[in-house]
Amino acid sequence: NAGVTQTPKFQVLKTGQSMTLQCAQDMNHNSMYWYRQDPGMGLRLIYYSASEGTTDKGEVPNGYNVSRLNKREFSLRLESAAPSQTSVYFCASRAGQGNYSPLHFGNGTRLTVT
């Protein structure tokens, strides 16, 4: 059971380049999330999708776009990468929308923007 799969694992971009981070889950979960993790800042929510066909902004959405391609896949796009977007990006999913449903995380994409 793969759970949440993120690709790529590592990426180096030059300022101004674009890229898409891919995420897929095989647990038939309704909700999917993108977080970024920075030292001393914890996990900050970028965008989320409460169900297929919907997306909403989180705490730090500027510079990012998302697509909920289908129930399994939720991608994160950087249109014009900036050094401030150097971070570790985590995709997560959860079965329901209730508070008590735990998040299941992928193993992250480490992105460096030079």
Partner 1 sequence: QQQVKQSPQSLIVQKGGISIINCAYENTAFDYFPWYQQFPGKGPALLIAIRPDVSEKKEGRFTISFNKSAKQFSLHIMDSQPGDSATYFCAAPKVPKLSFGAGTTVTVRA
Of 19 and 45, which has the nearer Cβ to partner 1? Answer: 45
CA atoms within a 13 Å half-sphere pointing along the CA-CB vector of 64: 27
Which residues are near partner 1 by CB under 8 A?
A: 4, 31, 33, 35, 40-45, 48, 50, 56, 58, 90, 92, 97-100, 102-108
Q: How far is the CB of 100 from partner 1 (least distance, A)?
A: 6
Q: Which of 34, 2, 27, 46 is nearest to 94 (CA)?
A: 27
Tell me whether residue 72 is exposed, middle or buried, using C-beta atoms within 10 angstroms of its C-beta: 0 to 12, 13 to 18, 19 or more: middle
Of 74 and 90, which has the nearer Cβ to partner 1? Answer: 90
Q: How far is the CB of 13 from partner 1 (least distance, A)?
A: 21
